Structure 1
Amino acid sequence: MAAQGKDAQEKNQPLVSLQAVMARLQTAGEGDTVSVGDMLQAIGPRSFGPVMLVPALIILSPVSGIPTVPTFGAIIITLIALQLMIGRHHVWLPQWLLRRKLKRQTLERAVRFLAPVARVVDRVTRPRLELFTRAPFRQLIALLCILVAATMPVLEPVPFMATSAAAIIALYALALVARDGLLALGALLMTGSALAVWLI
């Protein structure tokens, strides 16, 4: 009982680093497969930044080579960002998306691939210029994530090209997680550059 109480308390703690998000992700579900619903429950439906970060990270990993993964990731990111824009307090996803599954082995491979990156990222991110991670800038970040996510289905036919879009969304989401306004401004510069390249 004490162990269960401790686990529940840990799951209620806010996620403020990339390594913390990935560690929580590894606790999702049971068995050989992990559903989107399992991941949402593990991260916490009130945590918009971490919840938006997860699909972006999955697309950043070699898992993005699996057909339809970038497109489904883009749909999830768009739905989350829309809810962040309108000020919802809990993330809602339709049942057909919540039931989508990944093999646990595939998820763990993605986490292992991103682990070295997470260690480096967590050393350089920290709360600063927090104004740019709060309203109304938070709503602007959500809008930009929607615009970038819209490019993913178009980029998906080119192997791993959707990862460039996912990287930008991951930076925005990580800025919200770490309350790092400087990172948000850097992601904004990357967005402008990337959209210019994609539209040429």
Structure 2
Amino acid sequence: MLVVVLALPNCLPMPPPIPLISGLLLGFVAIQIILGLHTPWLPPRLLAKTVARADVAKAVDRALPAVRRLEHISRTRLAVFNTPIGMRATGVILLVIALGLLAAPPFVGQIPLGFAACLVGLGLVERDGAIAGVGIAFGALGVALSFSFVVAIVSGIEALAGS
């Protein structure tokens, strides 16, 4: 469920520090999933970071109806995600999504990645591999968008430096 909570603020256009903080925290959780840990641990220094309560409340209020609808249609299926190897593979995918959040275009670029992480997290909580699979597909789209953004910035800098 921590994955869902960390991803929810990214489902809406948010100012730049939110995707960065969420991406870092989600990355720590993903690494722990990869290592097979059952209880999440976050460094106290990261836990000390704050996000405006109003921003988080707004994101949760707007995203909660969609989350409730997804919970309503979910059921146990595609049990491959419930195995230790499946969980570790899902952790790798969440780590890629978290890294994508670190490079996401401001304000809207994090939305596909936030939605992807929410779906993967809900798939894990509900033991629904189909929902997790849809989340992985959204994650691929979001990572491609973030990668394109980074390539565009680097190309622009190179063009300016070459002028």
TM-score range, shorter chain: 0.7 to 0.9
Question: 1:88 — aligned with what?
Answer: 37
Paired residue type of 2:121: A
Alignment match of 2:114 (pick from 166, 170, 173):
166
Residue 96 (structure 2) aligns with: 147
TM, length-normalised to structure 1: 0.66
Higher relative CO (Cα under 8 Å, sequence separation at least 6) belongs to 2
Q: 1:194: Cα distance to partner?
A: 4.3
Q: Distance in 2 between matches of 1:111 and 1:196?
A: 26
Match of 1:185, SS state, is: helix
Alignment deviations for residues 132-151 of structure 1 (CA, whole Å, 9 cap, x no partner): 23221111011011112112
1:68 aligns with 2:36: no
Q: Calculate the TM-score normalised by the size of structure 2.
A: 0.80
| Deviations, residues 116-158 of structure 1 (Å, cap 9, x unaligned) | 21232122112222232322111101101111211222224x3
Structure 1 86/123 Cα, relative in aligned 2: closer, same or farther at 3 Å?
A: same
Q: 1:179 aligns with which of 101, 117, 127?
A: 127
Aligned-pair identity (%): 23
CA offsets per residue over residues 79-105 of structure 1, 9 Å max, x none? 001011111132111111111223433
- 8 Å contact 2:82–2:127 — kept in the other structure? yes
**Which position in structure 1 is the counterpart of 2:72?**
123
Cα deviations across residues 30-80 of structure 1 (Å, max 9, x unaligned)?
Answer: xxxxxxxxxxxxxxxxxxxx1111110121134xx2231101100000000
Matched, 1:59 2:7: no
Q: Hey, what's the Cα distance between the residues in 2 that align with 1:95 and 1:105?
A: 23
Structure 2: 5+ residue stretches without partners: 149-163
Amino acid at match of 1:81: A
SS in 2 for 1:127: coil
CA distance in 1, matches of 2:16, 2:147: 23
| Number of residue pairs matched by the alignment | 148
Structure 2 counterpart of 1:166, which letter?
A: G
The CA RMSD measured in Å over matched residues stands at 2.0
Gaps of 5+ in 1: 1-49
Between structures 1 and 2, the one with greater helix share: 2
2:139 equivalent to 1:188: no
